[in-house]
Amino acid sequence: MFAALANESRLRCLVLLSCHAQLCVCELTYALGLSQPHVSRHLGQLRESGLVTDRREGIWVYYRIAADLPLWAHEVLERTARGLVGQAPFDRDAATLVAMPNRPGAARCT
C-alpha cells in the first residue's frame, strides 16, 4: 500500500477515487492530464495490489477503492485524501474532473 502511495500518479488516482464512488479511466485520464496508457498501467498496478477493483460497462472501465480493504487501509486513504485538500496537483485534479465535458453517462466519453 505504501509503495502505491509513494508514486505520484497512483497517489493522484487514489485521492480522486477516495472522493468518488467510482471513476472511469477516461475521467482519471482527463483529470490528471496524463495519457491513457500511463493511467491504465498505474491502475493495473493498484488493482494487482488489491487497492482498487474494476468493472466494465460497455466501452468504459470503472475503478473504485476495493471494498474488502482492512479498516486501517481505508482510514489511511481517507486521511491522506483529506490531508491533501487544497494542495497542488490534487486540488487541480478535482477541479478538472468537475469541469470535464461528456463524462460517462453522457452520449460519449472523451
CA 37 to chain CA mean position, Å = 14
Q: Tell me what pLDDT residue 110 has.
A: 42
Residue-wise pLDDT tens digits, 71-93:
999 999 999 999 999 999 999 99
Per-position DSSP letters for 20-36, written without gaps between them: SS-EEHHHHHHHHT--H
How many CB atoms are located within 10 Å of the residue 47 CB? 14
Distance CA(82)–CA(26), nearest Å, equals: 24
CATH architecture of the domain with residue range 2-93 = Orthogonal Bundle (1.10)
Q: Tell me what pLDDT residue 52 has.
A: 98
What residue spans define the domains of the chain? 2-93
Which residues of the chain have a pLDDT value below 50? 107-110
